[in-house]
Amino acid sequence: MKRFGNLILLAAFVATPVMALQWQALPDTPPVPKDNPTTAAKVELGKMLYFDPRFSSTGTVSCNSCHNVMLGGEDNRPVAVGVEGQKGGRSAPTVWNAAYLSVQFWDGREPTLEAQAKGPVVNPIEMGMESHEMLVERRLRAIPGYRPYFEKAFGSGDVVNIDNFAKAIAAYERTLITPDSPYNRYVKGDKKALTAQQIAGMEKFAKVGCIGCHSGGAFAGPAKPLGEGFFMRFPTFTDNPYVEKYRLMDDGGRFEATGKESDKHMWRVPTLLNIALTAPYFHNGAVETLDEAVRVMARTQLGKELPEQDVADIVAFLNALTGEFPKQTMPRLPATPAAVISDIKK
């Protein structure tokens, strides 16, 4: 798979015309780690946990607060708002199709959805729980209504724990996929799925070089094994006014996670699926519109000033990456016992 990915990358960089090889459909199902097979019981539990605000210190913030699955899988804000009105440092990435990505977070610091799910709950400016132990003892085990769901999903015994909490959420997130976009239907053979402008935009997306990084069915780079990320420097070209205007150098990117000089301003190449729904754009949410985001990317990553017609065509194409969203039932959450009422930060 890695070799294959590199070939595509190479093909794209030499600005080929649209060819069958370089356009991939999103697979109907995302990869699933061997140690967490998806089951209906896990998905049901995971959805409950995902929507439950009681896993935040104040009882007000759930996974869905910032990664809203009723919208584009995030919050349409520059940066997210956590407990007590605190603002995060980066924009919430979409949960839709996160299951297809081989690393998680903007800086790719976690390899799996399971590992990702353990982060925000104990981040002091996100969900604000003091530790995983506190989360499990004072909230998860303290809500007795969860135990039967954990047992159904993971068997009996000591199953109400942080690993199964994360596994259930990840299993639910693997159902949050949108393989049915117009683009996907087009590459699978429905030649009417895209408008003429979208097809023109698709060709320009390749010719300009966007596809050099945003390749593959998720438009997030070549397929990689879970845990191995596809990173690029952003901004690559710094000799333009966008860098200051949108504060593109303020955040060290992957460097903040690894401390390695070579990781400075390196970022995971984000998916473009449903990109029309996830404004404002970039890690700091500094760019409000998709056309401006296209201009910024062309200039900072490819050193190009695009004609406005190209911007419009590429934006039209990007709109074809919006999928159909699966219908979902609403979870019911188990009752809140006195111990949790008293533990919730007033």
Q: Does 288 bind a second copy (CB under 8 A)?
A: yes
Q: Which residues pair with 253 in a beta bridge?
A: 266
- Report the distance separating Cα 238 and Cα 248, nearest Å: 9
Shortest Cβ 295–a second copy spacing (Å): 14
Q: Which helix (H) or strand (E) holds 148?
A: helix 147-154
Q: Which residue has the tokens 């969900």?
A: 127
Q: Which residues pair with 294 in a beta bridge?
A: none
Which residues, 207 to 226, sit near a second copy by CB under 8 A?
A: none
What are the phi and psi torsion angles at 110 (to 5°)?
-120, 145
Are the C-beta atoms of 284 and 90 separated by less than 8 Å? yes
Q: Does 332 bind a second copy (CB under 8 A)?
A: yes
Q: Which residues contact 308 (CB under 8 A, 6 or more apart)?
A: none
CB-nearer residue toward a second copy: 54 or 204: 54
Q: Does 277 bind a second copy (CB under 8 A)?
A: yes
CB-nearer residue toward a second copy: 57 or 164: 57
Q: Does 331 bind a second copy (CB under 8 A)?
A: yes
Whether 126 is catalytic: yes
Q: Identify residue 190 by its one-letter amino acid code.
A: D
Q: Does 227 bind a second copy (CB under 8 A)?
A: no
Residue from 136, 269, 279, 306 touching a second copy (CB under 8 A): that is: 279
Which residues, 41 to 80, sit near a second copy by CB under 8 A?
A: 51-54, 58-60, 65, 68-72, 75-78
Q: Which span (191-199, 239-247, 250-258, 337-345) binds a second copy, by CB under 8 A?
A: 337-345
Q: Which helix (H) or strand (E) holds 267?
A: strand 266-268
Q: Which span (16-24, 82-90, 188-196, 309-317) binds a second copy, by CB under 8 A?
A: 82-90
Q: Which of 126, 137, 288, 305 is catalytic?
A: 126
Q: Is 346 helix (H, G, I), strand (E, B) or coil?
A: coil
Shortest Cβ 285–a second copy spacing (Å): 9
Are the C-beta atoms of 28 and 20 separated by less than 8 Å? no
Q: Does 302 bind a second copy (CB under 8 A)?
A: no
CB-nearer residue toward a second copy: 68 or 197: 68
Q: Which residues contact 229 (CB under 8 A, 6 or more apart)?
A: 102, 103, 108, 268
CB-nearer residue toward a second copy: 11 or 340: 340
Q: Report strand pairing: 231-233 vs 266-268.
A: antiparallel
CB-nearer residue toward a second copy: 32 or 344: 344
- Report the distance separating Cα 210 and Cα 119, nearest Å: 31
CB-nearer residue toward a second copy: 52 or 107: 52
Contact mark string toward a second copy, 6..45, x via CB under 8 A: ----------------------------------------
Q: Does 327 bind a second copy (CB under 8 A)?
A: yes
Q: Does 132 bind a second copy (CB under 8 A)?
A: no
Tokens of residue 279, six digits: 């404004």
- Report the distance separating Cα 25 and Cα 22, nearest Å: 10
What is the distance in angstroms between the CA of the first residue and the CA of the last residue of the chain? Answer: 51
Q: Does 340 bind a second copy (CB under 8 A)?
A: yes
Q: Which span (191-199, 254-262, 309-317, 330-338) binds a second copy, by CB under 8 A?
A: 330-338
- Report the distance separating Cα 241 and Cα 217, nearest Å: 32
Tokens of residue 217, six digits: 């069915």
Residues that bind a second copy (CB under 8 A): 51-54, 58-60, 65, 68-72, 75-78, 81, 83-86, 276-277, 279-280, 288-289, 325, 327-333, 335-336, 338, 340-342, 344, 346
Instruction: Supply the residues annotated as catalytic.
Output: 126
